[in-house]
């Protein structure tokens, strides 16, 4: 195999290695795979990101950015095979590589979808509801989010060179912020190959992404208050980077996702022979062997009821004994190598520390497949320990061997189990295997504050369960304390890390102008045409229809009750209704009010309105009695283009009585032709 020369991508150009050159070796047999070394003008890179990439991204709406992400995910998805081949040299099996490569691409797809569904076709995001700051509504407040005008520096870990890069890039680009990517050197050839595909796709604006193959030099020293550092790796490195004087002085955002001592709990109800016990053993084995245990979310501490400890040890050991360790290209291999010889040395050193407080109950000395290069390859056998005194121990709760190493410890009761889980001082994830909802609730209350994610699995979660060690783009990935105190992904929450939340205080007219969304109290537009006769581009925000009136009679109420079957006493029994403190007597059905409202504002002829597909935020403010008169104000509140054929219109619907008092309100959603 030809030795790869890993280039950096700076200010729109590929830059060959220079300065101190580092050789990168195969995890399988120690052959030199690639060389890297960066001698870059980091000031120019930051300037390029801020003045070229940032403005280009911010000129795009969230939907336009999401469309680029979707196209990029499709582009990468068609080119996975080349990445799989390079991934083998990191020690990863095909299933391991799929977690990294397919998982990363899938994450981009999710953020693209969420950008289209949950963000506006605009460059301003509304965070939360409108706040009325005075009695009359003439002064209001709204939290908005806008893109930071700096650069995001992504410092990634060696264990997931593709997923780690893409799960940071997706929310960053969706937020409209350019990124400089720094992969871990040990597996940088795979990250560079994936990044090269991103550039070659031509889908992103110039300056949106840059790449550092080698040292970051003085990059962090040049960051300011509009920039973000997002780091994945060890706590020691995170603390070193976080303490950079420039980062501290400028309050540069620093997001850390650190390795942690994740725990799993076998519920007190999950005895041998139950489905939960079997699922638990299978999951522990998978977490020990997937990526050779090199996952920041892998299970490090196994907490089981004292009565079941030996059964758990026996069951896990039996599965480990059947695990073929060897060349990841060989079909029979079930666990590959660690990423490097340096990583193997570190794992063995940390395992020895754990062994000072626990006895090793599994760890085959010669459990490798035939043909394995045990000297030059970074192979190591899974190691299972058992700690007889978890309360008195320290290292099993503070030392992590970042490989296929886990420790079993027994608990007396559930309170003891959660206390032991919390001894990890903050983790990315803890899992619980139980069929008892009360056990699940007690764990959340006792341990939720110590873990970024709690994963519950049992016989009911079935095939849809993603596993203890699988963070999902929809949910936050991070954790308190030892885990770094940061968050990644989490859907739109992840996007917000690269945006500034600002409290805007203004009149309704000014706020409507800022947000391009109608605000109650803002000036409305009384058009000549019924708003349902206007196509999507013709309809203006604030276009309002004031309807005629309609009186509600007792006959209407009784007919609606008979027709629908809703004969609730408040509509049918005068004496019982008056006894209710909320009603003056018999009142109209809420859905009768909605039906009459629709009858007042709907234009019946075929036209631009293709469909009414729902309503949001329905509230009934005041009862409607027989003899009351209803009138509706229908106002175009917001518009979102969906495709070339139609767009979504959100209408503010206000229903008032003869005294001008609001009796109901909601938001109607329609699809309108272009």
For residue 113, what is the enclosing H or E element?
A: helix 94-118
Q: What are phi and psi of 34, to 5 degrees?
A: -155, 165
Based on the fold, state whether residues 379 and 270 are members of the same structural domain: yes
Same domain? For 243 and 271 the reply is no
CATH number, domain with residue 619 = 3.10.129.10
8-state DSSP, 477: E
pLDDT digits (tens, 9 = 90+) for 262-294: 999 999 999 999 999 999 999 999 999 999 999
Helices 94-118 and 163-175 cross at an angle (nearest 10°) of 10
Write out pLDDT tens, residues 584-617: 999 999 999 999 999 998 888 887 888 888 899 9
pLDDT by residue (tens digit) across 214-237? 989 999 999 999 999 999 988 889
DSSP H or E run through 170? helix 163-175
Of 427, 454, 469, which closes a domain? 469
What is the number of domains present in the chain?
Answer: 3
Cα-Cα-Cα-Cα dihedral of 118, 124, 129, 131, to 10°?
A: 180
**Are 666 and 571 within one domain?**
yes
Residues 147 and 289 in one domain: no
Q: Kindly report the CATH number assigned to the domain that includes residue 220.
A: 3.40.605.10
How sure is the predictor about 366, in pLDDT bands with cuts at 50, 70 and 90? low
Instruction: Quick: pLDDT tens for 130-180.
Output: 888 888 888 999 999 999 999 999 999 989 999 999 999 999 999 999 999
Question: Cα–Cα–Cα angle for 419, 424, 427, nearest 5°?
Answer: 110
Mean pLDDT of the chain: 92
pLDDT at residue 521, as a whole number: 87
Same domain, 364 and 448: yes
Show the beta-strand stretches assigned E in 1-63. Answer: 4-5, 8-10, 13-15, 22-25, 32-36
Of the listed 296, 357, 487, 488, which one is catalytic? 296
In a domain, 415, yes or no: yes
DSSP, res 327: -
Q: Are residues 577 and 612 in the same domain?
A: yes
Largest Cα span, the chain:
92
Q: Which two tokens stand for residue 304?
A: 């089981």
Grade residue 432 by pLDDT with cuts at 50, 70 and 90.
very high
Alpha-carbon gap, residue 305 to 613, rounded angstroms? 51
Q: Residue range 48-77: average pLDDT?
A: 97
pLDDT of residue 365: 67
Distance CA 112, CA 110 (A): 5
Q: Is 518 a member of any domain?
A: no
- Planar angle of CA 282, 287, 290, nearest 5 degrees: 110
**83/213 same-domain check:** yes
Residues 302 and 415 in one domain: yes
- Residue 151: closest CA among 92, 97, 93, 216: 216
Answer yes or no: is pLDDT of 370 > 90: no
Residue 541 located in a structural domain: yes
**How big, in percent rounded to 5, are the helix, strand and coil portions of the chain?**
35, 25, 40
Flag whether 97 is in a domain.
Answer: yes
50 lies in the same domain as 198: yes
**How many whole angstroms separate alpha carbon 432 and alpha carbon 95?**
24
Q: Has residue 444 been placed in a domain?
A: yes
CA distance 213 to 9: 8
Task: Classify residue 515: in a domain, yes or no.
Answer: no
Active-site hit among 89, 167, 257, 357: 257
Do 138 and 270 fall within a single domain? no
Q: Is 296 a catalytic site residue?
A: yes
Answer yes or no: is 267 within a domain: yes
SS3 629: strand
Query: Are residue 248 and residue 279 in the same domain, yes or no?
Result: no
The string over 136-173, giving b where at least 16 C-beta atoms fall within 10 Å of a residue's C-beta and e elsewhere, is eeebbebebbebbbbbbbbbbbbbbbbbbbbbbbbbbb
CA angle 216-218-224, nearest 5°? 105
Q: Find the range with the poorest average confidence among 75-79, 164-168, 521-525.
A: 521-525
Within 13 Å of residue 94, how many CA atoms lie on the same side as its CB?
8
The answer to whether residues 281 and 389 belong to one domain is yes
Q: Report percent pLDDT > 90 for the chain.
A: 71
400-418 residue pLDDT tens: 999 999 999 999 999 999 9
Q: Is position 512 within any domain?
A: no
Lowest mean pLDDT among 15-19, 252-256, 366-370: 366-370
Task: Give me the domain span that covers residue 459.
Answer: 263-469
């Amino acid at each position: 195999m030809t030795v790869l020369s890993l280039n950096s991508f700076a200010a729109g150009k590929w830059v060959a290695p220079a300065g101190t050159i580092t050789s990168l070796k195969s995890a399988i047999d120690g052959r030199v795979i690639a060389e890297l070394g960066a001698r870059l003008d980091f000031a120019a890179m930051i300037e390029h990101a801020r003045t070229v990439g940032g403005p280009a991204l911010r000129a795009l709406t969230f939907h336009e950015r999401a469309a680029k992400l979707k196209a990029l995910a499709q582009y990468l998805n068609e080119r996975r095979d080349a990445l799989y081949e390079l991934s083998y040299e990191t020690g990863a099996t095909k299933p391991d590589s799929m977690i990294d490569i397919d998982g990363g691409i899938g994450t981009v797809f999710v953020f693209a979808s969420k950008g289209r569904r949950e963000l506006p076709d605009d460059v301003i995001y509304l965070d939360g509801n409108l706040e009325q700051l005075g009695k009359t509504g003439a002064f209001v407040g709204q939290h908005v989010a806008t893109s930071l005008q700096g650069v995001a520096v992504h410092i990634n870990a060696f264990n997931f060179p593709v997923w780690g890069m893409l799960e940071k890039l997706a929310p960053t680009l969706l937020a409209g912020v350019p990124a400089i990517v720094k992969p871990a050197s040990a597996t940088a050839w795979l990250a560079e190959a994936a990044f090269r595909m991103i550039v070659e796709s031509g889908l992103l604006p110039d300056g949106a992404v840059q790449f550092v193959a080698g040292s970051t030099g003085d990059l962090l020293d040049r960051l300011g208050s509009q920039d973000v550092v997002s780091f994945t790796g060890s706590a020691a490195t995170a603390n070193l980077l976080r303490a950079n004087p420039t980062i501290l002085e400028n309050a540069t955002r620093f997001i850390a996702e650190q390795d942690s001592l994740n725990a799993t709990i076998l519920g007190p109800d999950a005895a041998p022979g139950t489905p939960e016990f079997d699922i638990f053993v299978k999951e522990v084995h998978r977490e020990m062997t997937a990526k050779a245990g090199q996952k920041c979310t892998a299970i490090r501490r196994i907490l089981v009821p004292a009565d079941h400890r030996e059964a758990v040890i026996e069951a896990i050991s039996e599965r480990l004994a059947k695990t073929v360790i060897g060349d990841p290209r060989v079909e029979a291999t079930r666990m590959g190598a660690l990423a490097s010889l340096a990583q193997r040395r570190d794992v063995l050193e940390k395992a020895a520390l754990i062994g000072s407080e626990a006895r090793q109950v599994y760890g085959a000395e010669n459990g490798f497949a035939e043909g394995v290069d045990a000297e030059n390859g970074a192979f190591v056998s899974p190691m299972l320990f058992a700690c007889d005194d978890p309360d008195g121990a320290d290292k099993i709760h503070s030392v992590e061997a970042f490989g296929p190493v886990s420790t079993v410890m027994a608990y007396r009761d559930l309170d003891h189990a959660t206390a032991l889980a919390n001894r990890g001082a903050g983790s990315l994830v803890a899992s619980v295997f139980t069929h008892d909802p009360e056990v699940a609730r007690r764990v959340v209350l006792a341990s939720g504050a110590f873990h970024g994610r709690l994963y519950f699995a049992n016989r009911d979660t079935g095939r849809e369960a993603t596993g203890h060690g699988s963070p999902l783009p929809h949910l936050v990935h991070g954790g308190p304390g030892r885990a770094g105190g940061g968050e990644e992904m989490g859907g739109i929450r992840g996007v917000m890390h690269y945006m500034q939340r600002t409290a805007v205080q203004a009149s309704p007219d000014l706020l409507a102008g800022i947000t391009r969304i109608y605000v109650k109290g803002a000036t409305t537009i009384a058009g000549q045409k019924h708003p349902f006769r206007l196509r999507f581009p013709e309809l203006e925000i604030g276009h309002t229809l004031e309807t005629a009136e309609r009186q509600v009679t007792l006959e209407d109420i009784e007919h609606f009750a008979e027709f629908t079957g809703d004969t609730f006493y408040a509509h049918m029994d005068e004496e019982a209704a008056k006894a209710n403190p909320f009603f003056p007597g018999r009142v109209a059905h809420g859905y009768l009010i909605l039906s009459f409202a629709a009858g007042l504002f709907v234009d019946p002829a075929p036209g631009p309105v293709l469909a009414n597909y729902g309503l949001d935020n329905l509230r009934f403010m005041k009862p409607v009695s027989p003899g009351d008169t209803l009138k509706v104000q229908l106002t175009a509140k917001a518009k979102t283009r969906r495709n070339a054929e139609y767009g979504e219109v959100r209408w503010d619907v206000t229903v008032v009585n003869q005294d001008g008092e609001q009796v109901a309100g909601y938001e109607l959603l329609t699809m309108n032709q272009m």
